[in-house]
Amino acid sequence: MNERELIQRIDAMAGLNIDPALLCGIGDDCAVVRKTDELVLLYTMDTLIESVHFDLRWHPPELLGKKAVSVNVSDIAAMGGNPCYLLFSLGLPPDFDDQWALSLSKGVGRACEQYGCLLIGGDTVSSPAGITLTLTVIGEARAEQVLYRNGAQPGDSIYVSGPLGLAAAGLALCKGKMGREEEFKQLYEAHLDPHARVELGKCLARSGLVNSMMDLSDGLATDLAHICERSGLGARIRCEQLPCDPVLEKAAALLGQDSIDWMIGGGEDYELLFTASTSATERLQEVVANAGHVLYPVGRMVREQGIFLLAEDAGKRTATAIDYRGFDHFS
């Protein structure tokens, strides 16, 4: 059983309990619970485990603390919400290093300050098998502005909010002990210290122009497949439209990798992935530009099932299936 199948089984069991205040449960970036007629609460939780999500050989504790908060806040951003409160559970080996733990906590505090949320509780436990960090973020949004994964429409343009594959390249550089930190600073930072796109998420939610949205945590192929599945549609991605930073190509050449693989299958970009009607393109670009952001159209939602990468090869258009090529914990 892979990760997706396990989640589907759990979802089927959880669906037996119906609460009228629960607007969205398992299957989106956050659970959505009605607070008032106008407001909803957003709940998300994520766990980072040593040797799975981070490696102590190269991940400084303060940046790890910041990242743990950012990856959770990114889920709030993906639904157009504002992060408010944070719960933090920390598992440490019995002989943990005091200074390391304090630096980690400092990073958590800095990130909370950055995103304007409050650390209100949590737990600390002994973890002989390695360090674990579990965080729960509670956010808030206007009920009519929440953006779900299931709202995409046939013909919608597909957008991402920034270059893809940078974090995957940064991880590869760390694993390969390549150094050259100054030259590849952007890639190292994308892996070690990502930033949630909270302000852009709220801007897109307020615009009323976006039909569906989520954050890019598992890679474009996998995350777009979630939108397709929830919306009952397929997608076509244009290879030439994928936003590729020049430094990504340099890293790919150095490591003998294909930058397209990083952009399609690499995870932890934490950019926003969303869809909007083509008729809203000009207005959407205007709204986003006025807020100081840039959008990148990368493809189109279609009625036909499946996700395909369209590319030109020797003057011939090719279509390659790319569904679910992202990270799976149990693959």
The residue-averaged pLDDT of 307-319 equals: 84
The mean pLDDT of 40-62, rounded to a whole number, is 96
On whether the CB atoms of residues 257 and 190 are closer than 8 A, the answer is no
Q: What percent of the chain has pLDDT over 90?
A: 84
Number of domains in the chain: 2
The least confident of 60-74, 185-199, 310-324 is: 310-324
The span from the CA of 189 to the CA of 166, in Å, is 9
Q: Please name the residues in contact with 232: beta carbons below 8 A apart, sequence gap of 6 or more.
A: none
269 and 202 belong to one structural domain: yes
Strand partners for 307 = 235
Instruction: Identify the three-state secondary structure at position 258.
Output: coil
95, 115, 145: which is the final residue of a domain? 145
Q: Is residue 242 part of a domain?
A: yes
Q: Are 160 and 216 in contact (CB under 8 A)?
A: yes
Phi then psi for 195, rounded to 5 degrees?
Answer: -125, 130
pLDDT of residue 331: 62
CB atoms within 10 A of CB 107: 22
With the C-alpha atoms ordered 256, 258, 264, 265, is the resulting torsion angle positive or negative? negative
Are 318 and 311 spatial neighbours (Cβ–Cβ below 8 Å)? yes
| Rg of the chain in Å (alpha carbons) | 20
Task: Report pLDDT for 77.
Answer: 98
pLDDT at residue 229, rounded to an integer: 93
Helix segments in the chain, DSSP class H: 3-14, 61-78, 98-115, 166-175, 185-192, 198-207, 220-231, 246-255, 259-265, 281-290
pLDDT of residue 15: 61
Q: What is the predicted pLDDT for the residue at 301?
A: 98
Note whether residue 59 is domain-resident: yes
Do 273 and 202 belong together in one domain?
Answer: yes
57-98 pLDDT tens trace: 999 999 999 999 999 999 999 999 999 999 999 999 999 999
Say yes or no: 125 and 267 in one domain.
Answer: no
In a domain, 64, yes or no: yes
- Which residue range is the domain that position 222 belongs to? 149-321
Residue 283 domain flag: yes
The answer, yes or no, to whether residue 2 has pLDDT greater than 90, is no
Closest CA to 198 of 296, 272, 290: 272
Residues 89, 184: one domain? no
Q: What CATH code is carried by the domain that includes residue 280?
A: 3.90.650.10
Structure tokens at 7: 């989640």
Say which amino acid occupies 10: I
Q: What is the CATH number of the domain that holds 45?
A: 3.30.1330.10
Give me the mean pLDDT over the 294-318 stretch.
90
What's the mean pLDDT when you consider all of the chain?
Answer: 93
Among 121, 145, 169, the domain-final residue is: 145
